[in-house]
Amino acid sequence: MKKTLKDFNFKGKKTLVRVDFNVPLEEGKITDDTRIRAALPTIEYLTRQGARVILMSHLGRPKGQVVDSLRLDPVAERLANLLNQEVSKVDKCVGKGVKETVAKLRDGEVLVLENTRFYPEEKANDPEFSKRLAELADVFVSDAFGAAHRAHASTVGVTAYLPSVAGFLMQRELDALGQVMENPEKPFVAILGGAKVSDKIGVIRNLLNKVDYLLVGGGIANTLLAASGYEMGESLVEEDKLELAKELIQEAQESGTELVLPTDLVIADQFSNQANYRVVPVDQVPEDWQSLDSGGPETLQRYTGIIKQAKTVIWNGPIGVFEMDIFAKGTNTIAAVLAESNATTIIGGGDSAAAVKKAGLAGKMTHISTGGGASLMFMEGKPLPGVIALDDLA
């Protein structure tokens, strides 16, 4: 167990908070503020406790350079609106000017530092940079589950110099994911989609020892079907992972977990919303067509039947190209069945979270993770560097 906000007195304390404000931007405007809203309970608690709140986050991939379009000014502005209070912002993370601004903070005030990834030292987890960040504060709060799988200066490095506790969002993620991975109510069903088997080898292997059913779709299913001997035409298949896919199928048979693959597919003659498309059995994919939705009617009937019997469901990765409406049926159907389910439903961040939100069903899930990569690592059974580094509860 890690220390949390309730284990520290924040009154008058300069409190450095790592949040995940890596929000999508278009022409300088925030198009989805979900990640900002997710951090509000922690920020509001700290301001009520009289903390002097210093927020830090990355945004995009500036690769250690200052990129004006990736400054956190729009984030600070949106946060001020959501908190209904003034939020100040500085254009750096460290240095004399930042220290002077922090020194002027009063109890309950909020300051946003500049994008941490403007500094190459951030991703390098540079000790000197970590120390300079830590010198701004009396205590560190980690509330960026979406970055907890990264051993960076702002997620791990600073913990060497400050008392370090988990924020409410971090705590909620660990509780929700920990419960289903360690003590799930059975039947336990996992749904895995996405493009590549190689991204989820560890997850598949870990889940084979835990779940009753593993339903597979998307590019992962294509590779597993190809490994089973089916001709997949122009479908996305990881040719160099076919032997590995055969091993995973064998391991599933030996584990007692039922690995469920599609039996029919929505195929198209091109990767486009304007494509010609049709449903075919998995053994009838023409050589110049490709599978873009694993959710054919027969497959969906089987998958939904299994999901309806489940007591716990964890889902990571869409089962088709849900961004294109004509290939979204499989993914949307699964989202709808989960929304109506009485099971504990955990959505593992990333594209599956985006798909659920696009379908307007986010509010009907038990928990939607804010971290795609972090939730994947958690599902692999691997420790998260940004969690390990926090102080243990005595």
Distance between CA 141 and CA 162 in Å, rounded?
10
CA-based angle 333:334:339, to the nearest 5?
95
What is the token pair recorded at 25? 């931007």
Contact 135, 99 (CB under 8 A): yes
Annotated catalytic, 350? yes
Say what the pLDDT of residue 79 is: 98
* pLDDT tens profile 78-107: 999 999 999 999 999 999 999 999 999 999
Domains and CATH numbers, the chain: 5-171 (3.40.50.1260), 184-379 (3.40.50.1260)
Catalytic choice (350, 371, 372, 386): 350
pLDDT digits (tens, 9 = 90+) for 12-45: 999 999 999 999 999 999 998 989 999 999 999 9
CA distance 320 to 326: 10
Instruction: Identify which of 330, 376, 336, 326 has the alpha carbon closest to the alpha carbon of residue 356.
Output: 336
Question: 318's torsion region: left (phi>0), alpha (psi -120 to 50) or beta?
Answer: beta
Which residues have CB under 8 Å from 103's CB, separation 6+? none
pLDDT at 2 exceeding the cut of 80 = yes
In the 8-state DSSP scheme, what is residue 249? H
- At 33, list the tokens: 């503020």
258: pLDDT confidence band, cut at 50, 70 and 90?
Answer: very high
- Please give the span between the terminal C-alpha atoms of the chain, in angstroms, as a whole number: 8
52 is catalytic: no
* CA–CA distance, 211 with 173 (Å, rounded to integer): 20
Q: Which residues pair with 278 in a beta bridge?
A: 267
Q: How far apart are CA 192 and CA 205, in angstroms?
A: 12
Asked if 207 and 257 touch (Cβ cutoff 8 Å), the reply is yes
Split at pLDDT 50, 70, 90, the class of 288 is: very high
- pLDDT at residue number 199: 87
CA-wise closest residue to 308 among 340, 353, 330: 340
Q: Quick check: is 373 catalytic?
A: yes
Q: What is the pLDDT of residues 163-215, one digit of tens each?
A: 999 999 999 999 999 999 999 999 999 999 998 888 899 999 999 989 999 99
The per-residue pLDDT for 137 is 98
**pLDDT score of 342:** 95
Question: What tokens does 387 get?
Answer: 């969690």
8 pLDDT band, cuts 50/70/90, is very high
pLDDT value at 349 more than 80: no
pLDDT above 90 (res 114): yes
Q: How confident is the model at residue 154 (pLDDT cuts 50, 70, 90)?
A: very high
Environment class of residue 76 by beta-carbon count within 10 Å: exposed (0-12), middle (13-18) or buried (19+)?
A: buried
Strands annotated E in the chain: 14-18, 25-26, 29-30, 52-56, 87-89, 110-112, 139-142, 164-166, 188-192, 213-216, 258-260, 264-268, 277-281, 290-293, 312-316, 344-347, 367-368
Mean local confidence (pLDDT), 241-266: 96
Q: How many angstroms separate the CA atoms of 122 and 117, rounded?
A: 6
- pLDDT band per the 50, 70, 90 thresholds, residue 126: very high
Write down the pLDDT at residue 351.
85
- Over 80: is that where the pLDDT of 356 sits? yes
Phi/psi-derived region of residue 329, left when phi > 0, alpha when psi is between -120 and 50, beta in every other case? alpha
> 52: which strand partners?
14
Task: Say which residues have a Cβ less than 8 Å from residue 63's Cβ, sequence separation at least 6.
Answer: 117, 120
pTM beyond 0.85, yes or no: yes
Residue 383, preceding peptide bond in cis (omega within 30° of 0): no
What is the structure's pLDDT at 222?
A: 97
Q: How far is CA 179 from CA 97, 166, 267, 379, in A?
A: 44, 17, 38, 11
Mention every residue, 6+ apart, whose C-beta is less than 8 A from residue 38: 20, 169, 370
- pLDDT value for 371: 87
| Mean pLDDT calculated for residue range 315-326 | 94
Residue 163 is predicted with a pLDDT of: 98
152 closest CA partner among 119, 200, 112: 119
Catalytic choice (13, 14, 18, 35)? 35
Residue 112 identity (one-letter amino acid): V
Catalytic, out of 196, 308, 311, 357: 196
Lowest mean pLDDT among 91-105, 106-120, 372-386: 372-386
- Kindly tell me if the per-residue pLDDT of 372 is higher than 90: no
The mean of the pLDDT values for the chain is 96
Concerning whether 104 is annotated as a catalytic residue, the answer is no
Q: Is the pLDDT of residue 378 over 80?
A: yes
Helix (H, G, I), strand (E, B) or coil at 225: helix
Quick check: 44 and 3 in contact, CB under 8 A?
no
Q: Among residues 12, 60, 202, 373, which one is catalytic?
A: 373
